Chains A and B, each alone.
Chain A
Protein backbone atom coordinates (compact mmCIF):
# COMPACT_ATOMS: atom_id res chain seq x y z
CA UNK A 1 0.00 0.00 0.00
CA UNK A 2 1.42 3.42 -0.83
CA UNK A 3 0.50 6.82 0.46
CA UNK A 4 0.40 10.27 -1.11
CA UNK A 5 3.74 11.74 -2.21
CA UNK A 6 5.21 14.55 -0.14
CA UNK A 7 7.66 16.96 -1.72
CA UNK A 8 10.96 17.67 -0.01
CA UNK A 9 12.98 20.57 -1.38
CA UNK A 10 16.76 20.56 -1.06
CA UNK A 11 18.26 24.04 -0.97
CA UNK A 12 21.40 25.96 -0.07
CA UNK A 13 22.38 26.77 3.49
CA UNK A 14 21.84 30.30 4.76
CA UNK A 15 19.50 31.19 1.93
CA UNK A 16 22.13 30.72 -0.78
CA UNK A 17 24.53 33.47 0.39
CA UNK A 18 28.16 33.19 -0.72
CA UNK A 19 30.14 31.11 0.23
CA UNK A 20 27.32 28.80 1.27
CA UNK A 21 25.60 28.40 -2.10
CA UNK A 22 26.58 25.35 -4.07
CA UNK A 23 27.75 26.68 -7.42
CA UNK A 24 30.58 25.65 -9.70
CA UNK A 25 32.66 28.59 -8.35
CA UNK A 26 32.18 27.75 -4.67
CA UNK A 27 32.79 24.04 -5.29
CA UNK A 28 36.05 24.75 -7.14
CA UNK A 29 37.01 27.14 -4.33
CA UNK A 30 36.22 24.47 -1.73
CA UNK A 31 38.32 21.82 -3.50
CA UNK A 32 41.19 24.28 -3.96
CA UNK A 33 41.07 25.26 -0.29
CA UNK A 34 41.09 21.63 0.82
CA UNK A 35 44.12 20.86 -1.32
CA UNK A 36 45.89 24.03 -0.19
CA UNK A 37 45.24 23.19 3.48
CA UNK A 38 47.32 20.03 3.07
CA UNK A 39 50.39 22.24 2.71
CA UNK A 40 50.19 23.66 6.20
CA UNK A 41 48.50 21.01 8.31
CA UNK A 42 50.32 17.96 9.57
CA UNK A 43 49.56 14.46 8.34
CA UNK A 44 48.42 13.80 11.89
CA UNK A 45 45.67 16.40 11.51
CA UNK A 46 44.76 15.71 7.88
CA UNK A 47 44.34 11.96 8.31
CA UNK A 48 42.75 12.37 11.73
CA UNK A 49 40.25 14.87 10.39
CA UNK A 50 39.23 12.50 7.58
CA UNK A 51 38.75 9.54 9.94
CA UNK A 52 36.85 11.73 12.40
CA UNK A 53 34.68 12.75 9.45
CA UNK A 54 33.85 9.10 8.79
CA UNK A 55 32.85 8.78 12.44
CA UNK A 56 30.57 11.82 12.12
CA UNK A 57 28.93 10.21 9.07
CA UNK A 58 28.52 7.01 11.08
CA UNK A 59 26.83 8.89 13.90
CA UNK A 60 24.33 10.35 11.47
CA UNK A 61 23.58 6.99 9.84
CA UNK A 62 23.23 5.34 13.26
CA UNK A 63 19.99 7.31 13.64
CA UNK A 64 18.40 5.08 11.01
CA UNK A 65 17.04 1.58 11.53
CA UNK A 66 19.54 -0.05 9.18
CA UNK A 67 22.42 1.96 10.63
CA UNK A 68 21.43 1.13 14.20
CA UNK A 69 21.20 -2.60 13.45
CA UNK A 70 24.60 -2.58 11.79
CA UNK A 71 26.17 -0.57 14.61
CA UNK A 72 24.77 -2.98 17.20
CA UNK A 73 26.18 -5.87 15.15
CA UNK A 74 29.61 -4.18 14.97
CA UNK A 75 29.66 -3.58 18.73
CA UNK A 76 28.75 -7.22 19.48
CA UNK A 77 31.17 -8.71 16.95
CA UNK A 78 34.75 -9.78 17.48
CA UNK A 79 35.89 -7.16 14.96
CA UNK A 80 34.22 -4.46 16.98
CA UNK A 81 35.69 -5.61 20.29
CA UNK A 82 39.16 -6.03 18.79
CA UNK A 83 38.86 -2.61 17.15
CA UNK A 84 38.03 -0.98 20.48
CA UNK A 85 40.94 -2.72 22.17
CA UNK A 86 43.34 -1.76 19.38
CA UNK A 87 42.29 1.86 19.36
CA UNK A 88 42.42 2.02 23.13
CA UNK A 89 45.93 0.57 23.32
CA UNK A 90 47.29 2.82 20.55
CA UNK A 91 45.37 5.85 21.87
CA UNK A 92 43.80 6.34 18.43
CA UNK A 93 40.43 7.24 19.94
CA UNK A 94 42.07 9.93 22.03
CA UNK A 95 43.83 11.37 18.96
CA UNK A 96 40.72 11.40 16.78
CA UNK A 97 38.57 12.99 19.46
CA UNK A 98 40.82 16.06 19.42
CA UNK A 99 40.71 16.91 15.70
CA UNK A 100 37.79 18.65 13.97
CA UNK A 101 35.88 16.23 11.76
CA UNK A 102 36.07 16.78 8.04
CA UNK A 103 32.64 17.05 6.30
CA UNK A 104 33.24 13.88 4.31
CA UNK A 105 29.67 13.47 3.06
CA UNK A 106 29.52 17.08 1.90
CA UNK A 107 32.90 16.90 0.20
CA UNK A 108 32.00 13.76 -1.75
CA UNK A 109 28.68 15.20 -2.88
CA UNK A 110 30.38 18.45 -3.90
CA UNK A 111 33.18 16.78 -5.84
CA UNK A 112 30.70 14.63 -7.75
CA UNK A 113 28.51 17.64 -8.49
CA UNK A 114 31.57 19.49 -9.79
CA UNK A 115 32.27 16.68 -12.26
CA UNK A 116 28.78 17.18 -13.72
CA UNK A 117 28.69 20.96 -13.59
CA UNK A 118 28.65 22.80 -16.96
CA UNK A 119 30.13 25.90 -15.27
CA UNK A 120 33.27 24.11 -14.09
CA UNK A 121 35.53 25.32 -16.92
CA UNK A 122 34.55 28.93 -16.33
CA UNK A 123 35.24 28.51 -12.61
CA UNK A 124 38.66 27.02 -13.39
CA UNK A 125 39.41 30.02 -15.60
CA UNK A 126 38.46 32.35 -12.73
CA UNK A 127 40.76 30.36 -10.49
CA UNK A 128 43.66 30.71 -12.95
CA UNK A 129 43.16 34.46 -13.23
CA UNK A 130 42.88 34.87 -9.47
CA UNK A 131 39.26 35.99 -9.59
CA UNK A 132 37.95 33.10 -7.55
CA UNK A 133 37.64 34.04 -3.87
CA UNK A 134 38.86 31.27 -1.58
CA UNK A 135 36.58 31.16 1.41
CA UNK A 136 37.41 29.96 4.89
CA UNK A 137 34.81 29.16 7.52
CA UNK A 138 34.94 28.18 11.22
CA UNK A 139 35.82 24.54 11.76
CA UNK A 140 33.38 22.31 13.62
CA UNK A 141 34.44 21.37 17.15
CA UNK A 142 36.05 17.95 17.77
CA UNK A 143 33.68 15.20 18.94
CA UNK A 144 34.11 11.87 20.65
CA UNK A 145 35.02 9.19 18.12
CA UNK A 146 34.39 5.46 18.56
CA UNK A 147 35.53 2.53 16.45
CA UNK A 148 31.95 1.42 15.77
CA UNK A 149 30.88 4.84 14.51
CA UNK A 150 33.93 5.05 12.26
CA UNK A 151 33.37 1.63 10.73
CA UNK A 152 29.69 2.44 10.19
CA UNK A 153 30.69 5.68 8.51
CA UNK A 154 33.09 3.87 6.20
CA UNK A 155 30.24 1.51 5.23
CA UNK A 156 27.79 4.35 4.59
CA UNK A 157 30.23 6.47 2.60
CA UNK A 158 31.44 3.52 0.56
CA UNK A 159 27.96 2.41 -0.36
CA UNK A 160 26.86 5.92 -1.28
CA UNK A 161 30.00 6.53 -3.30
CA UNK A 162 29.67 3.27 -5.23
CA UNK A 163 26.09 4.10 -6.24
CA UNK A 164 27.02 7.68 -7.13
CA UNK A 165 29.93 6.75 -9.37
CA UNK A 166 27.71 4.39 -11.35
CA UNK A 167 25.14 7.13 -11.83
CA UNK A 168 27.85 9.62 -12.70
CA UNK A 169 28.75 7.66 -15.78
CA UNK A 170 25.16 6.99 -16.69
CA UNK A 171 25.09 3.47 -15.41
CA UNK A 172 27.00 0.33 -16.39
CA UNK A 173 25.84 -1.93 -19.21
CA UNK A 174 24.35 -5.12 -17.89
CA UNK A 175 25.70 -8.46 -19.03
CA UNK A 176 29.22 -9.66 -19.96
CA UNK A 177 31.37 -7.93 -22.56
CA UNK A 178 33.07 -10.21 -25.08
CA UNK A 179 35.93 -9.07 -27.33
CA UNK A 180 36.78 -11.49 -30.09
CA UNK A 181 40.50 -11.70 -30.79
CA UNK A 182 41.36 -11.19 -34.51
CA UNK A 183 42.31 -14.32 -36.40
CA UNK A 184 46.07 -14.24 -37.24
CA UNK A 185 46.97 -14.15 -40.89
CA UNK A 186 48.45 -17.58 -41.80
CA UNK A 187 50.73 -15.97 -44.39
CA UNK A 188 51.94 -17.40 -47.74
CA UNK A 189 55.37 -18.68 -46.72
CA UNK A 190 56.00 -22.42 -46.95
CA UNK A 191 57.81 -22.45 -43.61
CA UNK A 192 54.57 -21.75 -41.72
CA UNK A 193 52.76 -24.84 -43.02
Chain B
Protein backbone atom coordinates (compact mmCIF):
# COMPACT_ATOMS: atom_id res chain seq x y z
CA UNK B 1 0.00 0.00 0.00
CA UNK B 2 1.41 3.38 -0.94
CA UNK B 3 0.69 6.47 1.15
CA UNK B 4 0.63 9.76 -0.73
CA UNK B 5 1.67 12.72 1.37
CA UNK B 6 -0.10 15.90 0.33
CA UNK B 7 0.57 18.07 3.35
CA UNK B 8 2.57 21.26 2.75
CA UNK B 9 6.15 21.04 3.97
CA UNK B 10 6.04 17.28 3.90
CA UNK B 11 9.01 15.12 2.90
CA UNK B 12 9.19 15.30 -0.91
CA UNK B 13 11.00 11.97 -1.04
CA UNK B 14 8.45 10.03 0.96
CA UNK B 15 7.64 6.43 0.25
CA UNK B 16 6.40 7.14 -3.25
CA UNK B 17 9.49 9.25 -3.99
CA UNK B 18 11.89 6.52 -2.86
CA UNK B 19 10.13 3.95 -5.05
CA UNK B 20 10.26 6.24 -8.05
CA UNK B 21 13.93 6.97 -7.48
CA UNK B 22 14.71 3.26 -7.24
CA UNK B 23 12.81 2.56 -10.44
CA UNK B 24 14.58 5.43 -12.16
CA UNK B 25 18.00 4.11 -11.14
CA UNK B 26 17.17 0.63 -12.33
CA UNK B 27 15.89 1.98 -15.64
CA UNK B 28 19.05 4.04 -16.19
CA UNK B 29 21.30 1.08 -15.42
CA UNK B 30 19.44 -1.12 -17.87
CA UNK B 31 19.40 1.61 -20.50
CA UNK B 32 23.19 2.00 -20.22
CA UNK B 33 23.61 -1.76 -20.45
CA UNK B 34 21.46 -2.09 -23.54
CA UNK B 35 23.09 0.91 -25.21
CA UNK B 36 26.55 -0.55 -24.70
CA UNK B 37 25.40 -3.88 -26.05
CA UNK B 38 23.94 -2.19 -29.14
CA UNK B 39 27.10 -0.13 -29.76
CA UNK B 40 29.19 -3.23 -29.36
CA UNK B 41 27.05 -5.04 -31.88
CA UNK B 42 27.70 -2.25 -34.38
CA UNK B 43 31.48 -2.26 -34.24
CA UNK B 44 32.31 -5.36 -32.25
CA UNK B 45 31.17 -7.98 -34.75
CA UNK B 46 34.55 -8.08 -36.41
CA UNK B 47 37.97 -7.54 -34.92
CA UNK B 48 41.65 -7.75 -35.78
CA UNK B 49 42.80 -11.04 -37.24
CA UNK B 50 45.07 -13.24 -35.18
CA UNK B 51 46.49 -16.05 -37.32
CA UNK B 52 46.73 -19.28 -35.37
CA UNK B 53 48.23 -22.74 -35.51
CA UNK B 54 46.51 -26.09 -35.92
CA UNK B 55 47.76 -29.58 -35.17
CA UNK B 56 47.85 -31.92 -38.14
CA UNK B 57 48.35 -35.48 -37.00
CA UNK B 58 47.43 -38.85 -38.41
CA UNK B 59 44.07 -39.85 -36.89
CA UNK B 60 45.50 -43.21 -35.92
CA UNK B 61 48.67 -41.76 -34.37
CA UNK B 62 48.91 -42.55 -30.66
CA UNK B 63 51.89 -41.82 -28.44
CA UNK B 64 52.23 -45.11 -26.57
CA UNK B 65 54.57 -46.19 -23.81
CA UNK B 66 54.79 -48.96 -21.21
CA UNK B 67 55.50 -48.11 -17.61
CA UNK B 68 55.95 -49.81 -14.27
CA UNK B 69 54.82 -48.57 -10.89
CA UNK B 70 57.46 -46.45 -9.21
CA UNK B 71 59.31 -45.74 -12.45
CA UNK B 72 59.31 -42.90 -14.96
CA UNK B 73 57.66 -43.43 -18.34
CA UNK B 74 58.75 -41.15 -21.17
CA UNK B 75 56.35 -40.00 -23.87
CA UNK B 76 58.30 -38.74 -26.88
CA UNK B 77 56.87 -36.53 -29.62
CA UNK B 78 58.50 -34.91 -32.65
CA UNK B 79 57.03 -31.51 -33.42
CA UNK B 80 57.38 -30.26 -36.98
CA UNK B 81 56.71 -26.61 -37.78
CA UNK B 82 55.14 -26.43 -41.24
CA UNK B 83 54.49 -22.70 -40.99
CA UNK B 84 56.56 -19.80 -42.31
CA UNK B 85 57.41 -18.26 -38.94
CA UNK B 86 58.44 -19.57 -35.54
CA UNK B 87 55.90 -21.51 -33.47
CA UNK B 88 55.72 -21.62 -29.70
CA UNK B 89 55.15 -25.16 -28.41
CA UNK B 90 54.08 -25.91 -24.83
CA UNK B 91 53.11 -29.57 -24.32
CA UNK B 92 51.06 -30.64 -21.29
CA UNK B 93 49.44 -33.97 -20.38
CA UNK B 94 45.72 -34.46 -19.73
CA UNK B 95 44.34 -36.80 -17.06
CA UNK B 96 44.64 -40.48 -18.01
CA UNK B 97 41.73 -42.89 -17.65
CA UNK B 98 41.61 -46.65 -18.02
CA UNK B 99 38.71 -48.79 -19.24
CA UNK B 100 37.68 -49.57 -15.66
CA UNK B 101 37.23 -45.88 -14.88
CA UNK B 102 40.34 -45.34 -12.77
CA UNK B 103 41.42 -41.73 -13.27
CA UNK B 104 45.08 -40.86 -12.94
CA UNK B 105 46.21 -37.25 -12.70
CA UNK B 106 49.82 -37.78 -13.76
CA UNK B 107 52.78 -35.85 -12.51
CA UNK B 108 54.45 -35.04 -15.82
CA UNK B 109 57.45 -32.86 -16.57
CA UNK B 110 57.82 -31.61 -20.14
CA UNK B 111 61.38 -31.40 -21.47
CA UNK B 112 61.64 -28.69 -22.64
CA UNK B 113 58.63 -27.00 -21.01
CA UNK B 114 58.32 -24.52 -23.90
CA UNK B 115 60.21 -24.50 -27.19
CA UNK B 116 60.34 -22.06 -30.09
CA UNK B 117 60.41 -24.16 -33.26
CA UNK B 118 61.86 -22.45 -36.33
CA UNK B 119 59.94 -22.69 -39.65
CA UNK B 120 60.57 -26.04 -41.30
CA UNK B 121 62.35 -27.44 -38.24
CA UNK B 122 61.55 -30.52 -36.19
CA UNK B 123 62.09 -30.49 -32.43
CA UNK B 124 61.76 -33.37 -30.03
CA UNK B 125 59.78 -32.92 -26.82
CA UNK B 126 59.45 -35.45 -24.04
CA UNK B 127 56.99 -35.82 -21.20
CA UNK B 128 58.49 -37.61 -18.21
CA UNK B 129 55.63 -39.24 -16.31
CA UNK B 130 56.12 -40.60 -12.79
CA UNK B 131 54.03 -43.78 -12.44
CA UNK B 132 52.60 -43.97 -8.87
CA UNK B 133 53.38 -47.04 -6.79
CA UNK B 134 49.76 -47.91 -6.10
CA UNK B 135 48.40 -47.41 -9.60
CA UNK B 136 46.47 -50.50 -10.73
CA UNK B 137 47.59 -52.27 -13.89
CA UNK B 138 45.78 -51.07 -16.95
CA UNK B 139 45.89 -49.21 -20.22
CA UNK B 140 45.49 -45.51 -19.47
CA UNK B 141 44.37 -43.22 -22.28
CA UNK B 142 44.63 -39.47 -22.49
CA UNK B 143 46.25 -36.83 -24.68
CA UNK B 144 49.12 -34.40 -25.00
CA UNK B 145 47.71 -30.88 -25.23
CA UNK B 146 49.73 -28.33 -27.18
CA UNK B 147 48.72 -25.12 -25.43
CA UNK B 148 47.50 -22.39 -27.78
CA UNK B 149 47.13 -24.72 -30.77
CA UNK B 150 43.66 -25.32 -32.26
CA UNK B 151 42.67 -29.01 -32.11
CA UNK B 152 45.94 -29.45 -30.28
CA UNK B 153 45.28 -32.86 -28.69
CA UNK B 154 47.50 -35.81 -29.57
CA UNK B 155 46.22 -39.16 -28.17
CA UNK B 156 48.39 -40.92 -25.63
CA UNK B 157 48.34 -44.41 -24.14
CA UNK B 158 50.30 -45.54 -21.09
CA UNK B 159 50.27 -49.27 -20.33
CA UNK B 160 51.02 -49.96 -16.69
CA UNK B 161 52.02 -53.46 -15.61
CA UNK B 162 50.65 -56.45 -17.56
CA UNK B 163 46.95 -55.87 -18.08
CA UNK B 164 44.93 -58.45 -20.05
CA UNK B 165 44.73 -57.47 -23.71
CA UNK B 166 41.41 -55.91 -24.69
CA UNK B 167 39.21 -58.36 -26.57
CA UNK B 168 38.04 -57.37 -30.05
CA UNK B 169 34.42 -56.25 -30.34
CA UNK B 170 33.23 -59.40 -32.20
CA UNK B 171 34.72 -61.68 -29.58
CA UNK B 172 33.08 -59.60 -26.83
CA UNK B 173 29.69 -59.89 -28.52
CA UNK B 174 30.10 -63.65 -28.90
CA UNK B 175 31.10 -63.96 -25.26
CA UNK B 176 28.03 -61.98 -24.20
CA UNK B 177 25.75 -64.21 -26.24
CA UNK B 178 27.30 -67.34 -24.76
CA UNK B 179 26.90 -65.96 -21.25
CA UNK B 180 23.27 -65.07 -21.96
CA UNK B 181 22.60 -68.59 -23.28
CA UNK B 182 24.15 -70.14 -20.19
CA UNK B 183 22.06 -67.94 -17.94
CA UNK B 184 18.93 -68.86 -19.88
CA UNK B 185 19.83 -72.56 -19.66
CA UNK B 186 20.25 -72.28 -15.89
CA UNK B 187 16.92 -70.52 -15.48
CA UNK B 188 15.01 -73.05 -17.62
CA UNK B 189 15.53 -76.08 -15.37
CA UNK B 190 14.79 -73.97 -12.29
CA UNK B 191 11.54 -72.78 -13.88
CA UNK B 192 10.58 -76.33 -14.75
CA UNK B 193 11.26 -77.36 -11.20
CA UNK B 194 9.12 -74.49 -9.94
CA UNK B 195 6.34 -75.40 -12.38
CA UNK B 196 6.35 -78.88 -10.95
CA UNK B 197 6.22 -77.11 -7.57
CA UNK B 198 7.10 -80.24 -5.83
CA UNK B 199 10.73 -80.11 -6.87
CA UNK B 200 13.22 -80.99 -4.21
CA UNK B 201 14.18 -78.10 -1.97
CA UNK B 202 17.86 -78.67 -2.84
CA UNK B 203 17.43 -77.48 -6.44
CA UNK B 204 15.60 -74.36 -5.43
CA UNK B 205 18.17 -73.77 -2.73
CA UNK B 206 20.98 -74.01 -5.26
CA UNK B 207 19.32 -71.50 -7.51
CA UNK B 208 18.69 -69.20 -4.58
CA UNK B 209 22.15 -69.60 -3.19
CA UNK B 210 23.71 -68.92 -6.57
CA UNK B 211 22.23 -65.43 -6.73
CA UNK B 212 23.66 -64.12 -3.44
CA UNK B 213 26.99 -65.77 -4.28
CA UNK B 214 27.06 -64.01 -7.63
CA UNK B 215 26.18 -60.74 -5.96
CA UNK B 216 28.88 -61.24 -3.35
CA UNK B 217 31.44 -61.97 -6.07
CA UNK B 218 30.43 -58.83 -7.96
CA UNK B 219 30.68 -56.76 -4.77
CA UNK B 220 34.13 -58.13 -4.04
CA UNK B 221 35.31 -57.31 -7.55
CA UNK B 222 33.90 -53.80 -7.36
CA UNK B 223 35.47 -53.01 -3.98
CA UNK B 224 39.15 -53.13 -5.04
CA UNK B 225 38.40 -50.92 -8.06
CA UNK B 226 36.67 -48.38 -5.81
CA UNK B 227 39.59 -48.51 -3.39
CA UNK B 228 42.01 -47.98 -6.27
CA UNK B 229 40.17 -44.81 -7.27
CA UNK B 230 40.22 -43.62 -3.67
CA UNK B 231 43.87 -44.53 -3.20
CA UNK B 232 45.01 -42.97 -6.43
CA UNK B 233 43.39 -39.60 -5.80
CA UNK B 234 44.99 -38.76 -2.43
CA UNK B 235 48.40 -39.90 -3.68
CA UNK B 236 48.07 -37.75 -6.78
CA UNK B 237 46.91 -34.81 -4.68
CA UNK B 238 49.83 -35.23 -2.26
CA UNK B 239 52.30 -35.16 -5.10
CA UNK B 240 50.62 -32.12 -6.58
CA UNK B 241 51.22 -30.01 -3.41
CA UNK B 242 54.54 -28.17 -3.35
Contacts and interface: CB of A to CB of B under 8 A. Distances in A.
A135 interface: yes
B64 interface: yes
Interface residues of A, number: 70
A117 interface: yes
A112 B88 contact: yes
Contact of A64 (B44, B93, B112): B93
Given A3-B76, A7-B80, A40-B43, A68 B95 contact: yes
B48 A30 contact: yes
A92 interface: no
B24 interface: no
Interface string B143-155: 0011111100010
B147 A61 contact: yes
Contacts, number: 238
Contacts of B37: 98
Given A9-B80, A21-B84, A98-B37, A139 B47 contact: yes
Interface residues of B, number: 75
Nearest to B53: A10
A44 B44 CA distance: 13
A103 B77 contact: no
Contacts of B181: none
Interface string A146-161: 0000000000100110
A138 interface: yes
B51 A117 contact: no
Contacts of A106: 50-53, 148
Contacts of B71: 1
- Report which residue of B61, B75, B88 has the largest number of chain A beta carbons within 10 angstroms of its beta carbon: B88
A173 interface: no
Nearest to B56: A9
A156 B49 CA distance: 23
5 tightest A-B CB contacts, nearest first: A33-B48, A105-B148, A3-B65, A163-B114, A2-B74
24 contacts: A1-B71, A6-B57, A7-B77, A7-B80, A8-B61, A11-B82, A13-B150, A19-B49, A27-B85, A30-B48, A33-B48, A37-B47, A45-B44, A66-B108, A98-B37, A105-B148, A106-B53, A116-B85, A136-B46, A137-B47, A139-B45, A156-B147, A159-B113, A164-B116
